[in-house]
Amino acid sequence: MYVDNKKVQDLADNLSDSNEIEGRSLWQDARHRFFKNKAALVSLITLSLIVLFALVGPQFSPWDYEEIDWDAMGDIQTMGAPSFSSGHYFGTDDLGRDLYSRVIQGTQISLMVGLIGSFIAVVVGTLYGAVAGYLGGRIDSAMMRTVDILMAIPFMFVLILLMVMFGRSIYMIFIGIGLLSWLEMSRIIRGQTLSLKNKEFIEAAIATGVKPFTIVTRHIVPNVLGIVVVYATLLVPGMIMTESFISFLGLGVQEPQTSWGALINEGARTIQNGTLWQLLFPLFFFITTLLSFFFIGDGLRDALDPKDR
């Protein structure tokens, strides 16, 4: 009897691969499918490079973000243009300040606003929505009606009002954007909690006398982490765009600090002087970062969706 060794080996490899897939945990399987998404993987690498640029970029510049190069203020189209010989890799702005260092400063602030603001929104929204969904009844109704009322108030109007009342502090931007962005998150988590609280493991925890707060933090919240992670990656670009819009209006960070929105505003204002680089460099980092977060969020959503398993 003839046996095809090649077919036998292929069959053994297939069986080995199937056993390997069955042996993966949920998070291992999600990670495997995420890394198979080329757009998400490229976006993750791109975003990592931007973060690395923000962290180690200042080490490669001879200029500080607020330092003025008086020689570059004469004829900005020639003296302030991008040049490695002068140390102004991205050129200078209309005040003779190094644009490379200012883009790094803008990257640091914009990313901090996006990440810290999203962290605040996710923590507040997750706990609020989980408590409302788990307790139910009148408490749930009162908590969600509060959310509905707050959502009816124009977000940007409240944020601008906070900036005017309490000053243009970078910390106020963190807190203001974070505390005004948790509302939608709370509604999403509340809906997930309503579907989880009748599950057997929740009923078993109640029967054994586990306190409600412990059930929320140890049983409900860990089971909605997939949705939280996906929503957080989509929330960060929204935070960055909000901060950039405020800075574009002149209500964001104060000079000499800057952000992408403030740099784009300066570039758009001075573009008629022929200094196109003042607009292109911050705009490139702004758009690239937003697209990276969107593709990463899309990849995480597909990777964590149980319907795609």
- What's the confidence (pLDDT) of residue 250? 72
Is the pLDDT score of 210 beyond 80? yes
Which of 143, 144, 174 lies closest to 159 in space, CA to CA? Answer: 174
Nearest to 171 by CA among 209, 245, 120: 120
**CA–CA separation, 266 and 76 (whole Å):** 14
pLDDT tens-place string over residues 179-209? 778 888 888 889 888 888 888 888 888 888 8
CATH classification at residue 262: 1.10.3720.10
Predicted TM-score of the model (pTM): 0.77
Q: Taking the chain, what is the end-to-end CA distance rounded to the nearest angstrom?
A: 40
Confidence check: pLDDT of 304 > 90:
no
| Residue 44 domain boundaries | 39-58+91-308
Q: How far apart are CA 132 and CA 191, in angstroms?
A: 10
- 60, 63, 65, 70 alpha-carbon torsion, rounded to 10°: -150
Give percent of the chain with pLDDT exceeding 70: 86
Express each pLDDT in 15-68 by its tens digit: 444 444 445 566 677 777 888 888 889 999 999 999 999 999 888 888 888 888
Q: CA 89, CA 82: separation in Å to the nearest integer?
A: 5
> d(Cα 119, Cα 103) in Å, to the nearest integer?
24
- Helices (H), ranges, the chain: 5-22, 26-36, 38-56, 99-135, 137-152, 155-166, 170-179, 183-196, 200-207, 212-215, 221-223, 225-248, 260-269, 277-304
Q: Which two tokens stand for residue 274?
A: 């022929």
Domain assignment of residue 216, yes or no: yes
User: What's the token pair of residue 283?
Assistant: 């705009």
- List pLDDT tens digits, range 121-141: 888 888 899 899 888 889 989
- 11 within some domain: no
Could you tell me the pLDDT band of residue 288, with boundaries at 50, 70 and 90? very high
CA angle in degrees (0–180, nearest 5) for 93-96-98: 70
Average pLDDT value for residue range 148-158 = 82
Distance separating alpha carbons of residues 164 and 174, to the nearest angstrom? 15
Q: How many domains does the chain have?
A: 1
Residue 296 lies in a domain: yes
63 is a domain residue:
no
